[in-house]
Amino acid sequence: MPRRSRNTHYNEDLNIWSAFTDLMSNAFMILLFLLLIASAKYTISQISKNKNTGTPPILLIKDENYRFDPGSAEIPRAMSDYIRNKIVPDIEKNTKNFQINTVEIIGHTDEESIGSTASNLDQNLEKVASGEITVGNLKAGSNADLGLMRSLAVVRVLLDIQKQQGRMQGINLRAYSAAQLILPNGGFAPIPKNQRQGDATRRRIEIRFTRLGEVTEVK
């Protein structure tokens, strides 16, 4: 009888340890499952933070802050420093965040007439774009000319930084003119009712981000 009792106790102890082992194994599996869920949520959260799927901002160089001389596209020192210290880092950040390959530099003027100066852009524009001559050699015959000259002057600064410092790699830079047509709010400018007036709030350089795809020919 005592012998049978010892076997009984032994079997009961064995059953307890087996149940305890199963319990610990299940607890470990549950803990591992919870850790996997937490890790997945963290990864998704990080991807969401790093991937910006919204609309890129429009960067501005305002005439009120960094002014061209009247009728000129020569970039003053303060504007050059602003481009190097602020605009270039912002271009690099936004082209990376939004997977951009092209930056458009758009020159905007006010409605005030340039005067009767004869334009020489048709003869010299490509030379300025290639860096053969400076923008100071250009003469604007219209606000459309002046807007393009100023945007091209900014592009030349950015191209020099891109070449000399190796920044903004792989980014295409394009110069455009909107002349006096577009207001700061994006609407078309109205036809002047009286004499054309100067307006510093309308004179600006806009920097826009875009992603160019393949050109499709419509037949």
Q: How does pLDDT run across 1-58, given as a tens digit for each residue?
A: 445 555 555 555 555 656 656 666 766 677 666 766 665 554 444 444 545 568 999 9
Contacts of 176 (CB under 8 A, 6+ apart): 104, 105, 106, 107, 147, 148, 151
Q: How does pLDDT run across 60-112, given as a tens digit for each residue?
A: 999 989 999 999 999 999 999 999 999 999 999 999 999 999 999 999 999 99
If DSSP codes are grouped into helix, strand and coil, which group holds residue 215?
coil
- Inter-residue contact 167 to 92 (CB < 8 Å): yes
pLDDT at 203 over 50: yes
Q: How does pLDDT run across 123-137, given as a tens digit for each residue?
A: 999 999 999 999 999
Query: How does 67-102 read in b/e, with b if 16+ C-beta sit within 10 Å?
Result: ebeeebbebeeebeebbbeebbeebeebbeebebee
- Inter-residue contact 186 to 178 (CB < 8 Å): no
pLDDT at 181 over 90: yes
CA distance 206 to 108: 8
pLDDT at 157 over 90: yes
